Structure 1
Amino acid sequence: MSNPIESTPPSNPTFQEIGLLPEVIKVVEHLGYKMPTPIQSSSIPVALKRKDIIGIAQTGSGKTAAFLLPMLNHLLNTNERKRDFFCIVVEPTRELAAQVIEVLDRMAEALPGLVSCLLVGGMDEMKQAVLLAKKPNVIVCTPGRLVYHINNTKGVSQSLQKTRFLVIDEADKLLDMDFAADIDKLIESVPKQRTTMLFSATMSSRVEKLQRASLVHPVKIKQSEQKYSTVDTLRQEYLFIPFKYRDGYLMAILQKVGAQSAIIFTMKCSGNTRLVLMLRQLGYEAIPLNGKMSQQKRLLALEKFKSGKRSLLVATDVASRGLDIPDVDFVINYDCPVEPKDYIHRVGRTARAGKSGMAITIVTQYSLEFYQRIETMIEKKLDEYKVEEQVAMSYVNRCSEAMRVVNQILKDEASKEKERIKDKNKGNADEED
């Protein structure tokens, strides 16, 4: 495959000037979009010419519409008998896939007859097979679940030969999650004569390899020349404190933030659970979002946060990629991310679509090296976030007591689970006798 052709964005075109069909313009108006974002104005005209695209864009850039709108244009220009299995959208996580389906459902309100199907883990395979039998126009999936249906559901492999539009979103994340083999299988299962759009927040050697394998004479569209960049409307600050006082300073930050919406990021699921329980002990209605939660619970947590029923979401990095949560005022890095690109993805949850936002990173003696690496990569020295030491220290003992209660709760739950497993095993042994 040849090297990608660079493309520069045109100057402020409207959606009408981009070349979308009148029916698609109605969808745009229904969604409330006013003007195309840079990634949309750059990529949509190229995709309308059926050229392959590799898009490098920061989070919150409007990527979803950048691939769905030209796809709709092509779909409407296709004979109705050839519209089933027309487009495959591949996402790294269930949440991102569900988010794309939400946008498609809203599009269908303005475009009756548009049928989409969600294929992700954690949901019944037979029900998904029934949905596939209804011949959807668009399939939004995680790689593993679509490969499952290719291998096990009658007719899917043949139906994918009708696919004319393939979107590989968050390619760097897909490869980080070891989906390479599933993506290879998927690419083998769709026709070579297709339009492919590949989006990634960063351009690694693995993404370049995937691009060479899946795209033909692609046009490369870069929203930003900087390898690691954040938007101008994002205010970024840090707080350097001893690790043992971290919880007290977090409480002081939350007191200062008040009732505004915030996402607090933790590194691990175990730490995520402990922090949520501690915050609840201290009177905050925090909700968790981590990889150990069931699909249903994760979607419910997101819905509560997006609807404003809860203003405090404590998340692991599963939530930091591409989730469309329009009104997040603050991002707080309780655990400083190890990798600069994870920092970019986390703070990208605020200051989206031109809005302002703030990211506060708590740095301790154990994470100073990680923080210095972040500053180097984003080529920016962050200001210090000001918190009154007296206020923070007044919370330290309360946090310690709350965490003591949390540890006892978790210990009791572990004991109950151990007893439950013991009783279950005993019951199975009795049945065998």
Structure 2
Amino acid sequence: MGLMPDLARAAGEKNYLQATPIQQAAIPAILQGCDVQGSAPTGSGKTAAFALPLLQAYSQSRHEMPRKTQTLILLPTRELAIQVADSLAFFARHLPHTPKIITLVGGVALNPQLMVLRGGADIVLATPGRLLDVLAHNALRLNHVKTLVLDEADRLLELGFSDEISQILALLPAKRQNLLFSATFPPGVKALTSGLLQQAVLIDVPASLAAPRPAIRQRALTVDTTRRTALLRHLIASEAWQRTLVFVASQHGARHLAEKLVKAGLRAEAFHGELSQGRRNRVLAEFQDGKLQVLVATDVAARGLDIAALDVVVNYDLPRASDDYTHRIGRTGRAGASGLAISFVTAQNEAHFYLIEKRQQQRVAREQIAGFEPEMPVVTPAKAVTDDKGGIKGKRMSKKDKLRAAQAASSSPDSTDA
């Protein structure tokens, strides 16, 4: 694909012995200077798909503007920014001249980041809010940026980040290369990307063609809302899970559930956006090292986290959007390992789970665990008729189903859970 031997060597040491489909398509296009919109499932090698050609571009042009920021990578979460920076440093390890890579994220003191920017930087990775803080202190200039990368682009282009992204885009040179990568590009986001990309190479790698790895086995367990915690504890004990990532809808729900699991004798911690960066790093390290059995997280953990040997992902609360479901379950089954994703389906959220199934074009059989059979009937909408390929057929949801789905999506873990 035209990569320098030093970069190809580092890729091999990262166990990329053969390029994945997203890498095969994206790397040549990026090296040619094209705008790229790349979509591929989690765990398919998207980071290397843009990191390797960007490092090659740096190596070939480093004499032109030394320590002038030519590459800006924006990411939605601190953990993802740190992880991508680590990957860049790994891939650059054999280059004769390594780039100065700076990571700018919130949750930590600003002054040390301002200090490290003295003398310039070649590649900057940042969350939008912290980047704007740094720019307000005149510690960084973006007028030399040649390439802008939006990693997890769909999240960055959502309403919550849109104002910050607009401010940053206004400070960038109009003529630049734009690279957008994510596992999902919903229709609403695709409309926004058209204003960013110029004659872009559009890459869409379906799951069937992504990097070979075992499929994530999905299970849907029906249970009463008030018995979800008891069922979770039962599953952790009976299945002997050593690392369990549990997703909930809110920060309060994460704290509440983690506290109850600790009282039950489990080593559990909450993980959400209000924790300091130091605390988040510590909790993740303890989870990786096996000191924690259960990580109870909001969707801040749904993107970018690469947790080795993760036994299972549990959707204690269903995500608000079907795309978030894809990102959540993508935390398991990574690096060729087997994966398991379990969703708790209640009478209150069945309609919403059906909507997720419909968007995923996949039907997940409902199961009951002995001793936890729901007292409230979990009724699949009558329109959920599967076709021969396992997809969902049917007309649009009724107004009543939409109201039920909205109510289920906005719910958080209840305070009366057993």
Q: With structure 2 as the length reference, what TM-score do the two structures score?
A: 0.83
Q: CA deviation at 1:240?
A: 0.6
- For structure 1, the 5+ residue unaligned runs are 1-17, 394-402, 408-433
For residues 112 and 191 of structure 2, what CA distance do their matches in structure 1 show?
35
| 1:111-159 residue CA offsets vs partner (Å, 9 max, x unmatched) | 35322111111222222122222322110001122122223225x23xx
Q: Look at both structures and tell me which one has the larger radius of gyration over its CA atoms.
A: 1
Mapped contact 2:145–2:172 kept (Cα < 8 A): yes
Q: 1:69 aligned to 2:52?
A: yes
Compared CA separation, residues 320 and 362, structure 1 to 2 (3 A): same
Distance in 1 of aligned mates of 2:374 and 2:16: 43
Q: Give the alignment partner of residue 307 of structure 2, picking from 313, 322, 325.
A: 325
8 Å contact from structure 2 (residues 151, 182) kept in 1 = yes
Matched, 1:94 2:78: yes
- Are the counterparts in 1 of residues 158 and 189 from structure 2 also a CA contact under 8 Å? no
Amino acid at match of 1:37: T
> How many angstroms does 1:191 deviate by?
2.3
Name the counterpart of 2:25: 42
| Counterpart for residue 119 of structure 2 | 134
Q: Distance in 2 between matches of 1:365 and 1:390?
A: 14
Determine if the alignment matches structure 1 residue 342 to structure 2 residue 324: yes
- Please say if residues 79 and 304 of structure 2, whose CA atoms lie closer than 8 Å, have aligned partners that are also in contact: no
Distance in 2 between residues matched to 1:42 and 1:116, nearest whole Å: 26
Show structure 2 runs of 5+ residues with no match: 376-414
Q: Which has the higher helix share?
A: 1
Q: Which moved more, 1:304-313 or 1:128-137?
A: 304-313
Corresponding residue number in structure 2 for 1:82? 65
Cα deviations by residue, 1:179-206 (Å, 9 ceiling, x for unpaired): 2222222223222332221113332344
1:32 aligns with 2:4: no
CA contact (8 A) 1:248 1:392 kept: no
Paired AA for residue 358 in structure 1: L
Instruction: Pick closer, same or farther for the CA change 1:378–1:274 going to 2, 3 Å.
Output: same
**Within 2, Cα distance between the matches of 1:175 and 1:374?**
21
> Could you tell me which residue of structure 1 aligns to residue 286 of structure 2?
304
Q: Does 1:118 align with 2:103?
A: yes
- Return the alpha-carbon distance in structure 1 between the equivalents of residues 186 and 8 of structure 2: 35
**Partner AA of 1:47 in structure 2:** I
1:232 is displaced (CA, Å) by 5.8
Distance 2:241 2:230 in 1: 18
1:33 is paired with a residue whose SS is coil
One-letter amino acid of the counterpart of residue 241, structure 1: V
- 1:375 maps to 357
> Letter of the aligned partner of 2:46 in structure 1?
K
Question: Structure 1, residues 302-351: CA drift from partner, whole Å, max 9, x if none?
Answer: 12222333232111111011212232121111112232112111111111
Distance 1:177 1:95, change over 3 A: farther
Deviates more, 1:72-81 or 1:281-290: 72-81
Does the CA-based 8 Å contact 2:223-2:373 persist in structure 1?
no
**Could you tell which deviates more after superposition, 57-66 or 44-53?**
57-66
Per the alignment, residue 91 of structure 2 pairs with 107
Alpha-carbon contact 2:41-2:207 (below 8 Å) kept: no
With 293-302 and 203-212 compared, the bigger mean Cα shift is at: 203-212
- 1:421 alignment partner in structure 2: none
**TM-superposed deviation, 1:177:** 5.1
CA contact (8 A) 1:55 1:220 kept: yes
Q: Is the 8 A contact 2:52 2:91 kept in 1?
A: no
Partner of 1:9: none
Does residue 53 in structure 1 map to residue 39 in structure 2? no
- What is the one-letter code of the residue matched to 2:285? E
Which residue matches 2:384? none
- Code of the aligned partner of 2:21: P
> TM-score scaled to structure 1, two decimals?
0.80
Calculate percent identity across the aligned residue pairs: 34
1:254 is matched with 236
- Cα deviations by residue, 1:40-84 (Å, 9 ceiling, x for unpaired): 111111111111100122222211111100101111111424242
1:98 counterpart letter in structure 2? I
Distance in 2 of aligned mates of 1:289 and 1:390: 27
CA distance in 2, matches of 1:333, 1:246: 10
Identify the residue that residue 283 of structure 1 maps to in structure 2: 265
1:247-296 Cα offsets, whole Å, 9 max, x none, are: 22112211222043220111111111111111111111112211221121
CA distance in structure 1 between the aligned counterparts of 2:338 and 2:244, rounded to whole angstroms: 13
- What CA RMSD, in Å, does the superposition of the two structures yield over aligned residues? 2.6
CA distance in 1, matches of 2:245, 2:372: 25
Find the aligned partners of 2:321 and 2:36 in 1 and give their Cα distance.
Answer: 27
Equivalent residue number for residue 292 of structure 1: 274
SS at match of 1:82: coil
1:386-425 correspondence runs (5 A): 387-389=369-371
Aligned to 2:402: none
Residues 126 and 270 of structure 1, relative CA distance in 2, 3 Å threshold: same
Query: Aligned partners of 1:88, 1:40: CA distance in 2, in Å?
Result: 20
**Residue by residue, what CA displacement relative to the aligned partner does 1:9-28 show, whole Å, maximum 9, x if unpaired?**
xxxxxxxxx21011211221
In the alignment of these two chains, the number of paired residues is 374
Indicate if the aligned counterparts of 1:87 and 1:166 stay in contact, CA closer than 8 A. yes
